[in-house]
Amino acid sequence: MVDAKTTTAQPERLQLLRVLGPAHIWALGVGIVLVGEYMGWNFAIGKGGMIAGLVACWVAGLLYTCVAMIDSEVTSTVAAAGGQYAQAKHIVGPLMAFNVGLFLVMAYTMLEAGNAITIGFLLDTVAGMQGHSGLNQQPFIILSIMFLAWLNYRGVLATLTFNLVITAIAFMAIIALFLAVQFGASGVPLDFSAVTTDPMPYGWMGILASLHFGLWYYLGIEGTCQAAEEVRSPARSLPYGTMAGIMTLLIAATMTWYVCSGLIPWEYLGQAGTPLFDAARVTGNRGLMVLLFIGTMFSTLASANGCINDASRAWFSMGRDRYLPLWFGAVHPVYRTPYRSIIFLVPIALIFALGAPLDQVVTFSILSGLLGYTFMTFNMVMFRNKWPLGTIKRGYVHPMHPLPTIVLLLLCATAYFAVFLGYGTQLIAMVGFYIVASLWFHFRRYRYVRRGDQFTMPWPRPEGY
């Protein structure tokens, strides 16, 4: 019998708090993505015209529906912080997990930087309308990122409750603009003559190229997985929150295209910085202008807020598993947040927000996201092959497997080509970056990884092993 007095007490390992429900998951997913309706998507119209923008909206919607279905099944089963990173380490292996973690961090950090740029641009636009042109945008960019980092530092429940409120307001602003224009509140009628007179100004190649920015309508919905370890009931909350989120975004994206394409000439719309706010300005209705200004601000803040949450969870998970220095795997003793990861990623976001143009930042985020979606296709096939239905408990089973996986892979391949048409140099640079990072992990970092500690799920031995 062991003497209790001589036994060394083991320190309690701090864990993230399980405090979130389906509404918070919806707020995280839609909050990150809804900014795509307020800016960025319209570059697709610049690539190929109005019809191209609509095709890109629906094709990208199909791609992300497949992403949401696949993610809902795997993440409701692998309920751990890090989302797709946690899936990769359990199903594929360490090298893939390291790369997927980087995909997530880069996609969300670049999206956060794009949001901060948009906040500065919007405030400069409004100041110019009041006769104060030339506003210095940098202080507002820095302030927005620092404030949201502080909010994330203080706790996930307050962070995502804040997201829930401002995301709902931003979504209702889109609906209000749509209804107001339909019922005559606009001083300018809807005009879709460009659809018939010049439907495809750059032909089929323009439609293909437009798919690049069509992804921006939905980029980040997969971020719902990052909160898996902080959800009260993963098997219920993650599928409900994610699927409700993608349906919300499909509705918002279609209404956004309809209103903006009907009010703004496609030549200007294709390069606008804040298209929904510009559409409200065209109506001449001051109330709509104020509402869409608030909606644009709230959508960018919600997106940046969710991006900080997701990027820090992925970075934290990699540190906890020793894929990165263990220092990043610390949990705050009071707020129970991955505070070191939150603080570390702030200057990286600021560097890109202050030093890179918006379209470049958007492209870097899209490319990292595309690499992550490509991984999902192989991950889903391996998951079903290793643990067929009935061998482990799943919170959700997506239908028609493997059709969504095949569709997702084909659409990803098409999107890579679309990006290459306009941003081939960035595509090659990003792939090169991930190759170098993989070599660093294999030759330098892998020695610190404890393989036996990676598998935290109580699953049986995989089929065939």
Mean pLDDT (whole number) for 358-363: 85
pLDDT band with cut points at 50, 70 and 90 for residue 175:
very high
Rounded to whole angstroms, the Cα distance separating 202 from 24 reads 42
Residue 359 in this model has a pLDDT that exceeds 60: yes
Q: Are 273 and 201 in contact (CB under 8 A)?
A: no
Rounded to whole angstroms, the Cα distance separating 313 from 214 reads 27
Other CB atoms within 10 A of residue 87 CB: 28
Question: Among 240, 246, 234, which Cα is nearest to 77's?
Answer: 234
Phi and psi at 49, nearest 5°, equal: 95, 180
Mean pLDDT (whole number) for 383-391: 90
Q: What is the pLDDT at residue 170?
A: 93
Q: What is the pLDDT at residue 201?
A: 81
Mean pLDDT (whole number) for 419-436: 90
Radius of gyration, alpha carbons of the chain: 22
pLDDT band with cut points at 50, 70 and 90 for residue 57:
very high
Residue 12 in this model has a pLDDT that exceeds 70: no
Q: Domain 22-452, what architecture?
A: Up-down Bundle (1.20)
Question: Among 59, 49, 40, which Cα is nearest to 261's?
Answer: 49
Other CB atoms within 10 A of residue 392 CB: 14
Residue 433, C-beta contacts closer than 8 angstroms, at least 6 positions apart = none
Rounded to whole angstroms, the Cα distance separating 158 from 164 reads 10
How open is the CA angle 413-416-419, to the nearest 5 degrees? 155
Tokens 């001051």 found at: 286
Question: Among 348, 356, 336, 371, which Cα is nearest to 153's?
Answer: 336
Ranking 8-12, 161-165, 430-434 by mean pLDDT, the lowest is: 8-12
Rounded to whole angstroms, the Cα distance separating 143 from 205 reads 41
What is the model's pTM? 0.85
Residue 109, C-beta contacts closer than 8 angstroms, at least 6 positions apart = 307, 311, 345, 348, 349, 352
Other CB atoms within 10 A of residue 464 CB: 6
Residue 275, C-beta contacts closer than 8 angstroms, at least 6 positions apart = 38, 39, 41, 42, 256, 260, 264, 269
Q: Are 311 and 345 in contact (CB under 8 A)?
A: yes
The end-to-end CA distance of the chain, in Å, is 39
Q: What is the pLDDT at residue 416?
A: 93
How high is the mean pLDDT of the chain? Answer: 87
Residue 236, C-beta contacts closer than 8 angstroms, at least 6 positions apart = 22, 395
pLDDT band with cut points at 50, 70 and 90 for residue 81:
low
- Which H or E element spans position 158? helix 156-182
Q: What is the pLDDT at residue 160?
A: 80
pLDDT band with cut points at 50, 70 and 90 for residue 373:
very high
Q: What is the pLDDT at residue 5?
A: 43
Residue 83 in this model has a pLDDT that exceeds 60: yes
**Of 367 and 223, more confident:** 367
Q: What is the pLDDT at residue 465?
A: 65
Mean pLDDT (whole number) for 134-152: 92
Task: Report pLDDT digits (tens) over 276-289.
Answer: 999 999 998 999 99
Residue 80 in this model has a pLDDT that exceeds 90: no
Domain boundaries, the chain: 22-452
Q: Are 161 and 20 in contact (CB under 8 A)?
A: no
> What is each CA distance from 148 to 160, 240, 283, in whole angstroms?
11, 26, 32
Task: Report pLDDT digits (tens) over 235-249.
Answer: 777 888 888 889 999
